[in-house]
Amino acid sequence: MGLMSTLNNAVTGLRINQDSLTVVSRNVANSGTPGYHRQSLNVVDYADQSSTYARTVGVNRAFNKSLQTYYTRQVSDAAMSSVEANYLDRLQTYLGKPGDAGALDNVFQDLQNALSSLATSPDDYTVRAQVVAHAQTMAETLNRLSSDIQTMRQETEGQIAADVHALNGMLTSLQEVNLRLLDLGTEDGARANLLDQRDRLVSQIAEKIDLQADYRPDGTVALMTRSGVGLLDGRASTFKFESAGNLAATSQFNYDPDITKVGKLMLTTPSGLTLDLVQQGVIQGGELGGLLTLRDRTLVEAQSQLDEIAASLAQAFGTVQTSGQAVTAGAAEGFELDIGDIAPGQDMLINYVENGVSRQVRVVNTTQDLDYKDASGVRVIGVDMSAGATSMATRLDSLLPGLDFANPSGTMLRVLDDGATGNIDIGSVVGRTSSTAAQGAGLALNLFVDSGNSGFTNNLDTDPPQKLGFAARISVNTAVIADNRVLVQHEVGGSLGDSSRPDYLVNQLKNMKFVSGGDPKANPNVFQLNGNASEIVSQVMGYQGSSIASALSRSDGRQLTLDTVVQQMDTEYGVNIDEEMARLIELQNAYAANARVVSIVQELLAELFRI
């Protein structure tokens, strides 16, 4: 090897040392920078006939495509679980823990205890006043909880709007980064910084919405949702959120865009195609996924359960049960019931035994075509009683073969068994209506009422149905507030020592059963409440407590998984200062060796020139 080849190799080594020092210094300077990927110099050996030497061919950046893809998914899942857990943790605070002072179940128990005391001491003014006070507390608690839930739903809409604004900004920035990465003349260090910025933006977008990222050989990235809707491929799609304004319990999502009463989340692709992301079920994760789930399902279900509690209270106290009169027609036996006072939403119960099996049918006054078995096994049939008893008898005859329905006169409905056949025996027919006045209308009392002091009948035919949002409207009957003696005096001038009404109210609260959720087959994901008012309250507290605990646990689990992935990325991508310092010492020694070679070659050349 000649002196010039030796000198060339040494100078090349010095140049590589200098480039390596630049990379090492950049790694050390960014060791604490989030999203920075460790860099290394790519050195290639060359050889020809007379010498060998090395040269640099760009900068290598630590990157693992499969790890990055897994990380992106975990970011979306953790963000979704986190936002759900945060909101549900607040809901748990509002509901209170079972048994705590101010908790929903404790407020109900206070009312129940006060009613029991009233049955024992109906003539005690203080006891009656306590019943009114606890009833007002119960109503106000349901009002407050309903308001809290709707406030949280409103907050989700505000956060969705903020996320949409952030998403559009991040997608635009990522589109610009992609364009700059296509410039192959970009200096290696600057290109590595662009790739770091690319990955940071992908991670930030994944926090907002579920992603699939396609990392391409030229360094650019294309994005789509897990459901396959494109977000960025050359050009970015645009998100748009159309707020619905203030949300109430009656503001619910519907797949029909003309009926839905919540904000719409739209996506417009670069080609001009517009999609309703919620209606088409596009979003499956990220913070947006969690917010939409809360707004349209989780918090709506919580409101629905509060409405069930409110409805059970109103119906337990205000329901008048009228037993049908026993009748016979030849060998057939049964009952007659006047259906004229059964208002829309109210019902009649038919109890009978067929071939030794006890059955119950609840016939609801509604124009809706209902026919299903509820969670308690009771068959529910919808009949428009305003069409008359004859029409009602015709419909029930077709749905309940074996029973004989007829309209003997006026608004009377007759129900008979199968007579001499003897396969069916009717046990009772009971009509359930609402109390019409605080006094002079029987033992029932509309202690809890709807807006305008109107009675609650659970009308299904109004828009929206009466039960929807009832927890926000429920209040104590003004007649009871004005004169608490009506808690006892079911007749004008009656004795304050008569415990008949308090006993009736306590018995109704204990024995009247309720079932929520409608048709279990049509609503398979809805938790069915089933029992008396006390059991309904306990079931709501238990269900919400379990759901909240599950959400918090799921969030912790997903965050732990994400932390594990981040640790793995830190190991693979991060800068190890000790390693960089060791590398620096190696470079220092190599620099000194190359510099010594240059110095010796210089001395030899000088000596040759002197000769």
pLDDT tens digits, one per residue of 57-72: 677 778 889 999 999 9
- The residue type found at 292 is L
Instruction: Say what the pLDDT of residue 209 is.
Output: 96
Is the pLDDT higher at 377 or at 597? 377
The answer to whether 447 touches 318, Cβ cutoff 8 Å, is yes
Q: Where are the alpha helices (DSSP H) in 358-499?
A: 389-399, 470-473, 478-482
What pLDDT does 415 receive?
97
User: Please, which residues bridge with residue 327 across strands?
Assistant: 334
Tell me if 546 sits within 8 A of 354, measured CB to CB. no
Region 67-90: what's the mean pLDDT?
95
Query: What pTM was computed for the model?
Result: 0.88
% of the chain at pLDDT higher than 90: 70
CB atoms within 10 A of CB 560: 11
CA-CA distance, 304 to 301, in Å (whole number)?
Answer: 5
Return the structure tokens found at 92.
Answer: 């748990």
The pLDDT, as a whole number, for residue 593 is 67
- 360 forms bridges with which residues in the sheet? 351
Characterize the bridge pairing of strands 332-338 and 347-354. unpaired
User: DSSP H helical segments within 294-423, as ranges?
Assistant: 299-318, 389-399
Rounded mean pLDDT of 151-167? 96
Q: Convert the pLDDT of each residue in 508-538 to its tens digit.
A: 999 999 999 888 888 888 899 999 999 999 9
Q: Which residue has the higher pLDDT, 271 or 367?
A: 367
Q: Residue 54: its pLDDT value, please?
A: 63
> What residues form DSSP beta bridges with 338?
412
User: What pLDDT does 580 receive?
Assistant: 66
C-alpha span between 321 and 323 (Å, rounded) = 7
Would you state the pLDDT for residue 6? 66
Q: Is the pLDDT of residue 553 over 70?
A: yes
Chain segment 492-507, per-residue pLDDT in tens: 988 999 999 999 999 9
The alpha carbons of the chain give a radius of gyration, in whole angstroms, of: 38
pLDDT, one tens digit per residue, over 420-440 is 888 999 999 999 999 989 998
Residue 170 to residue 202: CA distance in whole angstroms: 8
The three state secondary structure string of 247-310 is CCCCCCCCCCCCCCCCCEEEEECCCCCEEECCCCCCCCCHHHHHHHHHHHHHHHHHHHHHHHHH
Structure confidence at residue 114 as a pLDDT band (50, 70, 90): very high
Identify the H or E element spanning 26.
helix 3-29
- What percentage of the chain has pLDDT greater than the value 70? 91
pLDDT digits (tens, 9 = 90+) for 319-350: 999 999 999 999 999 999 999 999 999 999 99
pLDDT confidence of residue 56: 63
Q: Is 215 helix (H, G, I), strand (E, B) or coil?
A: strand
- Residue 594, pLDDT score: 64
Across-strand partners of 59? 41
| pLDDT attached to residue 51 | 57
50, pLDDT greater than 60: no
pLDDT band at 557 (very low <50, low <70, confident <90, very high): very high
The residues near 33 (Cβ < 8 Å, ≥ 6 apart) are: none
340 burial level (CB within 10 Å; 0-12, 13-18, 19+): middle
Mean pLDDT, all residues of the chain: 90
In single-letter form, the type of residue at position 382 comes to G
Q: Is the pLDDT of residue 584 over 80?
A: no
Which has the closest alpha carbon to 510: 293, 317, 367, 343?
317
Among 1-10, 197-206, 300-309, the least confident range: 1-10
Give residue-wise pLDDT tens across range 452-462. Answer: 999 999 999 99
In this structure, which amino acid lies at residue 501?
R
Instruction: For residue range 394-421, list pLDDT tens digits in order.
Output: 999 999 999 999 999 999 999 999 998 8
Match 């904000």 to its residue by tokens. Answer: 263
Strands 379-383 and 357-365: parallel
Angle between helices 533-573 and 299-318 (to 10 degrees): 170
589 vs 109, residue with greater confidence = 109
What average pLDDT does the segment 275-279 reach?
A: 93
Q: What pLDDT, on a 0 to 100 scale, did the predictor assign at position 55?
A: 64
pLDDT confidence band for 97 (50 / 70 / 90):
confident
Higher pLDDT, 55 or 31: 31
pLDDT on residue 59: 76
**Most confidently modeled range among 168-172, 275-279, 492-496:** 168-172
Residue 456: the pLDDT is 95
Q: Which residues contact 130 (CB under 8 A, 6 or more apart)?
A: 114, 117
